Amino acid sequence: MKKSISGVTIELRQGDIANQGDCEAVVNAANAQLETGGGVAGAIHTAAGPELTSEARSMAPIKPGEAVITKAYNLPNQYVIHCLGPVYGQDKPEDRLLANCYSNALKLAEEKQISSIAFPAISTGIFGYPVEDAAKVAFTKFIESISSLKHLKNIIFVLYSEKDLNIHKRVLEQIL
């Protein structure tokens, strides 16, 4: 599913965030120590290799809502933007902290003049954020940011499961 708003495309696709060859940057649903782990962080660190882990480690720790950027090493991208999402029920206010992840990632992408970026559904795995609520936060932030984007033309949301893809499709239709 693809929607175009003021010259910026928001695309939803099912897939693996570590295998998005058509994007300049991919976003990692990181942990505070910027180390490998389960889910997205495990997939990204494994595919990128140990040099990513060592560059990222030098920037740790980060706080919920923050984002940092590294090279992408063996991934088919140029950059990885590492975002620490809130742990649901623990890091509050969750919606504000999750929105900060998206706005900080977009800000870093613009600074590097990146034209395409792929996001996973930050915080919706191990961190327990309800998928539908998280999708509302993400898409609201994208739409709010679109008028300030100069370089970014393609924002891709990569969902691991068909179920999550369908939830995101529904939420995007509702918000637009």
Residue ranges binding ligand ADP (CB under 6 A): 16-18, 29, 38-41, 43, 85, 120-127, 158, 160, 164
Specify the residue, 60 or 149, whose C-beta has the smaller distance to ligand ADP. Answer: 60
Three-class SS of the chain? CEEEECCEEEEEEECCHHHCCCCCEEEEECCCCCCCCCHHHHHHHHHHCHHHHHHHHCCCCCCCCCEEEEECCCCCCCEEEEECCCCCCCCCCHHHHHHHHHHHHHHHHHHCCCCEEEECCCCCCCCCCCHHHHHHHHHHHHHHHHHHCCCCCEEEEEECCHHHHHHHHHHHHHHC
Query: Nearer to ligand ADP by C-beta: 43 or 69?
Result: 43
We find the least distance from the C-beta atom of residue 162 to ligand ADP, in angstroms, to be: 11
As measured in angstroms, the least distance from the Cβ of 84 to ligand ADP is 8
Q: How far apart are CA 40 and CA 16, in angstroms?
A: 8
Instruction: Provide the minimum distance between the beta carbon of 93 and ligand ADP in the complex, in angstroms, as a whole number.
Output: 17
Nearer to ligand ADP, 128 or 146 (CB): 128
Residue with smaller CB distance to ligand ADP, 43 or 109: 43
Minimum distance between the CB of residue 69 and ligand ADP, rounded to whole angstroms?
17
Cβ proximity to ligand ADP: between 109 and 135 the closer is 135
Closest CB 86 distance from ligand ADP, rounded Å: 9
Provide the minimum distance between the beta carbon of 2 and ligand ADP in the complex, in angstroms, as a whole number.
18
Nearer to ligand ADP, 24 or 91 (CB): 91
